Amino acid sequence: MSDPTRGQTARIISILRSPAARKISFTLGVWRIDALAFEEIASAIALGDIEVVVAPAKGGGEAEYNFKKDLIVVPDVTYGAKITQQGAIIHECVHAFVDMENFTGQAESANEAAAYLAGMLYILHTGIVMPPIITPVGNLAAGIAKTIIGQPGAAVPKMFETDLRRAIASEPFYKRQGVTFRSPDHADGLWRVRALRGRTDIDMVKLPPKTRLA
């Protein structure tokens, strides 16, 4: 029997390296979300510094990123077949990138804003007709994504960033998790899983801020 985790690991890496993902290119605050960022996450997954787990998401969403354990969680073995699910995987991988970058003093609503924009840009880049969007955050993110698409490296205008962060902070799903406009982000860097490389658990350390992975 095939290993479901291995299949989903391969799927996520291929989404990160797809043309639609590689065309994403914008900056929001301190983060530059582009092909290089997605390649860093793809490499970290390939190396095992970020693991893919098939399990129900604890936070109540479909997929999630666990910043403490550096895990991308997807609910089942088929997740990622649909375009909206691929957008959600890109969303979670932005959280992984923010965790890896580990800039201090950032807001979690800004992390979410960057993740929403990347997910929307991914869907727009595939050329597939955008499925109906039901949430205010999704609608706003889609509108902003359409204004910055096709401008590599474009900085998300502060006014748009603020609007999107406000919408996120007022969404019940995020309110329940204690997210406010200014609540601090939880990025803490990646563990280097030295245990998997012939060392012991005692050697596991979180990478200091802005450390590049080998």
* CA separation for the pair 196, 126 (Å, rounded): 36
Residue 179 binding Zn ion, by CB under 5 A:
no
26, 148 Cβ separation under 8 angstroms: yes
Minimum separation from the CB atom of position 197 to Zn ion (A): 30
Least Å from the CB of residue 185 to Zn ion: 11
Q: Which is nearer to Zn ion, 39 or 62 (CB)?
A: 62
Strand partners, 155: 27
Separation of alpha carbons 85 and 9, rounded Å: 14
The minimum distance between CB 96 and Zn ion, in angstroms, equals 11
Write each residue from 95 to 124 as x if it is in contact with Zn ion (CB under 5 A), else as -, in one continuous string. -----------------x--x---------
Residue 61 CA to residue 53 CA, distance in Å, equals: 15
Q: To the nearest whole angstrom, how small is the minimum distance from the Cβ of residue 102 to Zn ion?
A: 17
CA distance 90 to 52: 13
Q: What is the Cβ-side half-sphere exposure of residue 166, based on CA atoms within 13 angstroms?
A: 7
Query: Total residues at the site for Zn ion (CB under 5 A)?
Result: 2
Q: Which residue's Cβ has the minimum distance to Zn ion? A: 115
Interacting residues with Zn ion (CB under 5 A): 112, 115
